[in-house]
Amino acid sequence: MSDAKYLIVGNSVAAIAAVDGIREVDADGSLTLIAREPHHTYSRPLITYLLGGRVDEEQMLYRPRDWYEKAKVNALLGTEVTAVHPDDHLVETADGRTIGYGRLLIAVGGTPIVPRDVEGTDAEGVFTFTTWDDARAIADYIEERGVRSAVIVGGGLIGLKSVEALIELGIETTVVELADRMLSATFDRTASELAQRRLADAGVGVLCDTTTTEILAQDGRVVAVRLTGGETLPCDLVIFAIGVLPSTSLVAGTDIRLDRGILVDDHMRTSAEDVYAAGDVAQATELIGGEKRCIAIFPNAYRQGAIAGRNMAGAERTWDGGLVMNSVTVVDRPTISVGVTEASGDGHEELIDLDEAAYRYRKIVLHGDRIVGAVFVGDIERAGIITGLIRERLDVSAIRDLLLTDEFGLISLPADYRSHVISGTGASR
């Protein structure tokens, strides 16, 4: 058994941020990082562009090749952790090793859902789309089999990210969505409808209120999907993009408290002594509402990882709450949603600027004198400033009539807030 003062399970954004955090406080403490995927740390959102051929493998890297060495990290890549034993301060790996730790961070992200009740999901040509290896396997399959048509099951964010790549590759694509509109968890109805129209204009099929009940295969290879109504849709490729669940199986059977994800306090500590969690696997306090939620986005994972790392090394950093934020490109047009996207009565109010023909939509959701959410479609220029105002919970009553005007910018904000942003404290949180 080899021991490490700090042990990190995971090699993505939360894990890397934790290394940064630890090294800020403790330059030399022994640090081991274990990851199931064999790759050098990479940026997961870029798998869309890897599949679409816009970036190459070198551009996928999240840190330079010599980063582990420089950060004094003993990286065990291609190694799966199968169990955590908090009472004994050790983990087990799939290749039969046990590794002891002083403090442990679990940053294992999420696992894509493949529905158990759909027949035929083991056919060749059926994929999920969350890893570098998924992108590579899909690209290989497309090339080897001369794929011309695809069905994406799920019209959420990862579904859209898959569509983006397939459009790039000239593959005829249909999205099958169980809800009555795409991106229903991310956008309000107007934004969803604009996105759907844009996809339709680009030749992408969108079928709502239905899903796939069976994968039909010939010679073991997918040839069509059957939909809820019994009709079939021919295709050479299927991607399941119906959601991702926090990968909590690692701590099953321990006393570590779970809900949807691993529950953490505002120091990113789990309920077990010396065990921390961060990123998509963690369920931490949300900024608006204060509930504990899993918010599976890159910036949250980074911020949580950095806080966990510093705290593991003995510093004192607290989490001020996660903000739900999604950005996706819909046929070359950027869209962003932040926080609350629909006013729900009780003191909420919406400011709207819509130009359907120009494919431009901006909405700000207010609660009393504060902004609690926003949607931007086609024009995301002020999204950063508005997000800052949400985070800072700034009283915007004096500037609310300006918020959606072309004149609105940093200059419209109170001088003390402007200097707060410019000095970095407001912008960095």
Ligand X SMILES: Cc1cc2nc3c(=O)[nH]c(=O)nc-3n(C[C@H](O)[C@H](O)[C@H](O)COP(=O)(O)OP(=O)(O)OC[C@H]3O[C@@H](n4cnc5c(N)ncnc54)[C@H](O)[C@@H]3O)c2cc1C
d(C-alpha 148, C-alpha 143), whole Å: 10
Shortest Å, Cβ 390 to ligand X: 16
Name which of residues 143 to 182 contact ligand X (CB under 6 A): 158, 161
Shortest Å, Cβ 104 to ligand X: 12
Q: By CB under 6 A, tell whether 11 contacts ligand X.
A: yes
d(C-alpha 397, C-alpha 420), whole Å: 19
Shortest Å, Cβ 277 to ligand X: 9
**35, 176, 394, 413: residue in contact with ligand X (rule CB under 6 A):** 35
| Binding span for ligand X by CB under 6 A among 191-199, 219-227, 296-304, 316-324 | 296-304
Rank residues 35 and 235 by Cβ distance to ligand X and give the closer one: 35
- Strand duo 90-93 + 98-106: pairing: antiparallel
Fill in the DSSP letter of residue 52: H
Q: By CB under 6 A, tell whether 279 contacts ligand X.
A: yes
d(C-alpha 374, C-alpha 388), whole Å: 11
Q: By CB under 6 A, tell whether 286 contacts ligand X.
A: no
Amino acid sitting at position 100: G
Rank residues 173 and 247 by Cβ distance to ligand X and give the closer one: 247
Strand ranges of the sheet holding 172-176, from the earlier edge strand across to the other edge: 126-128, 237-240, 149-153, 172-176, 205-207
Shortest Å, Cβ 303 to ligand X: 11
Q: Which residues contact 211 (CB under 8 A, 6 or more apart)?
A: 153, 176, 177, 178, 227, 228
| Binding span for ligand X by CB under 6 A among 9-17, 171-179, 181-189, 229-237 | 9-17
| Binding span for ligand X by CB under 6 A among 37-45, 335-343, 394-402, 416-424 | 37-45
For residues 365, 371, 375, 376, the Cα torsion angle rounded to the nearest 10 degrees is 130
Q: By CB under 6 A, tell whether 204 contacts ligand X.
A: no
Interface pattern 229-248 for ligand X (x via CB under 6 A):
------------------x-
Q: By CB under 6 A, tell whether 303 contacts ligand X.
A: no
DSSP string, 196-258: HHHHHHTT-EEE-S--EEEEEEETTEEEEEEETTS-EEE-SEEEE-S-EEE--GGGTTSS--B
Question: Which residues lie near ligand X (CB under 6 A)?
Answer: 9-15, 34-37, 44-45, 47-48, 80-81, 107-110, 129-130, 158, 161, 247, 250, 279-280, 296-299, 301, 327
